[in-house]
Chains A and B, each alone.
Chain A
Amino acid sequence: MKAYIALIKKEARENWRTYKTPLLVAVFILFGVISPLFAKLMPEILKQLATTGVKITLPPPTALDSWAQFFKNMRQMGLLVLVILFSGTVATEFTRGTLINLLTKGLPRRTVILAKFTMTTVLWTSAYALSVAITTAYTAYYWTMPTYHHLILTFSGPWLFGLLLISLLILGGICFTTTIGSLLTCGGAVILMTLINIVPTWQASNPLTLITQNLALLTGKLAVGDFWPAALVAVGAIVISLGSSIIIFDRRAI
């Protein structure tokens, strides 16, 4: 436990001093601010872009447009920022040889994996929660908030998907010991999930649902029961990724 806490402190210091924490927080604050703002200004932007003679009529934006913008930003940019920032978290330890001193001091190998997962999860959770809070505040400021369904579950979707990506980054790093290996493992998994989504009967249990069906869940078009299978598969995949990382790392020569 002492070693785990020591390593958590080391990870926190590393992420702060290598600017990962400030960058992640800054980017997610930005997402929180621009999602509602973009939804609010969309009709104005389109009006400016429209050429003379063409008339675009749009219904006035609602709070739901703000959330649609938020989930789109998370899906397209937020998760990508997370993956890119933390793609080297395991790999650089191998390429630079920094773990050797620590492991030869009796540090259990699994502690490395668990501490890295914990710290990245804490950062991701904080940044994501901050972003949700800012979006909520601005959305409530610009519009009257209607009653939403399954609020917590809806917002848990991208968060859980983020955890899945973090566990895949770690697995990739352990297997291939390079940053590119981590990125390819993550990218490969996302491509696989996209392919699985082609089969309609598999869509419900595809973790991709966690980041694509949020609005449907929020508006009550999707039942809670339709969201759970994907969440459970994601949790299973996280456990398997971390478990395999621990087993593979224990057998790896350094």
Chain B
Amino acid sequence: MPILTLEHVTKRFGRQMVLNDLNLIVPEGRIFGFLGENGAGKTTTMKLILGLLRADQGVIKVNGEPVTFGQTTTNRLIGYLPDVPAFYDYMRPQEYLQLCGEISGLSKDCLNQRSTELLTHVGLANTHQKIGGFSRGMKQRLGIAQALLNEPRLLICDEPTSALDPVGRLEILDILQQLKGQTTVFFSTHVLADVERICDEIAILHAGKIALTGQIDDLKAKHATHHLRVKFATTAELNQFISLGWSDFQTDLVSFSVTLTAPDILKLEMTVMQALATQQLTPISLERTAPTLEQLFMEVVQ
């Protein structure tokens, strides 16, 4: 059974349609990247899953149980890390986890053990200062600890790395990657490098719908048919080839290569080979390439 399903979910804010008949399935045990431009509706989708917003239409299920707005019992299965987690500044991290654990209904022994484990895991075990004095990275790490406290089946993270410096970003990604196999992680981002680094599966949200979804490797393989890389021995040859007026291409001056993109790869290959023969150009290599995630993303959102 998938851990999370969204069926025909629609959400409007006034006249603005944010989600329009959105369908999504997240299988259990994956690290699932939820991509989309700023304002695409990623946070709205997450808040709908958490019952913090009411969907206009559609059904959301967590582990087969429908999500209800307001009193959301499915949240016992979920851990949530908001984009900028807000804490009580006057508390210490241990006290905050104590509060969260008591609300979740954890027993005292279990809570003490769990919070010590988690604080050690996120590197805050020896931090006794109040949360008010925390850096953003520390708050984000405490955010992960509180989200994992009740051993959730599904961890939802809303852009967990976007406000962090490179060190903080890597720390958070490492923590998430270590969860692989234990908890399903559903995390939104627009940092594609983060997705390539830790995700097995992605969905791209565009214009209120899921424009593309699947395992990253499958998606790349499926879209590999659109890209052809031609590599030359010299810059002169490369420039001569580019000057033929190709409509959609990207050059790489370091490796003297150009990547051409077209919907019909066979036709493109024929055209390129004819052009090479006419110009008496001999490339070092001519190969179909897998697109980068960035190219995939751009294809979908443009």
Q: Do A and B bind each other?
A: yes
User: A residues bordering B, Cβ < 8 Å?
Assistant: 2-3, 5-7, 9-10, 13-14, 17-18, 96-98, 100-109, 250-251, 253-254
Known: A100-B86, A101-B86, A101-B100. A253 touches B105 (CB 8 A): no
Closest-CB distance, B211 to chain A (whole angstroms):
26
Taking CB atoms, residues of chain B closer than 8 Å to A17 are 90
When the two chains form their complex, are residues B88 and A10 in contact, meaning their CB atoms are under 8 A apart? Answer: yes
- Interface range for B: 20 to 34
In the complex, A97 Cα to B88 Cα: how many Å? 10
B76 interface residue per 8 A CB criterion = yes
B262 interface residue per 8 A CB criterion = no
Chain A to chain B: the 6 pairs with minimum beta-carbon distance, closest first: A6-B102, A17-B90, A97-B86, A104-B80, A254-B52, A98-B86
Closest-CB distance, B10 to chain A (whole angstroms):
15
When the two chains form their complex, are residues A98 and B88 in contact, meaning their CB atoms are under 8 A apart? Answer: yes
Closest to B50 in A: A104
B71 interface residue per 8 A CB criterion = yes
When the two chains form their complex, are residues B75 and A104 in contact, meaning their CB atoms are under 8 A apart? Answer: yes
In the complex, A100 Cα to B50 Cα: how many Å? 10
Q: Could you tell me the dominant secondary structure of chain A's interface residues? A: helix
Task: Give the contacting residue for A109; candidates B47, B71, B82, B100; CB below 8 A.
Answer: B71
When the two chains form their complex, are residues A3 and B103 in contact, meaning their CB atoms are under 8 A apart? Answer: yes
16 A–B contact pairs at CB < 8 A? A6-B102, A9-B102, A98-B87, A100-B52, A100-B82, A101-B82, A102-B99, A103-B72, A103-B75, A104-B50, A104-B78, A104-B80, A105-B103, A105-B104, A106-B104, A253-B52
Closest-CB distance, A234 to chain B (whole angstroms):
30
Known: A13-B90, A100-B52. A107 touches B82 (CB 8 A): no
Closest-CB distance, A244 to chain B (whole angstroms):
15
Taking CB atoms, residues of chain A closer than 8 Å to B73 are 106
Taking CB atoms, residues of chain A closer than 8 Å to B5 are none
Closest to B80 in A: A104
B146 interface residue per 8 A CB criterion = yes
Taking CB atoms, residues of chain B closer than 8 Å to A109 are 70-71
B220 interface residue per 8 A CB criterion = no
When the two chains form their complex, are residues A253 and B53 in contact, meaning their CB atoms are under 8 A apart? Answer: yes
When the two chains form their complex, are residues A2 and B85 in contact, meaning their CB atoms are under 8 A apart? Answer: no
In the complex, A80 Cα to B54 Cα: how many Å? 38
Closest-CB distance, B119 to chain A (whole angstroms):
16
Taking CB atoms, residues of chain B closer than 8 Å to A254 are 47, 52-53
When the two chains form their complex, are residues B76 and A14 in contact, meaning their CB atoms are under 8 A apart? Answer: no
The interface centre, meaning the residue of A18, A100, A101, A251 with most chain B CB atoms within 10 A of its CB, is A101
Closest-CB distance, B67 to chain A (whole angstroms):
12
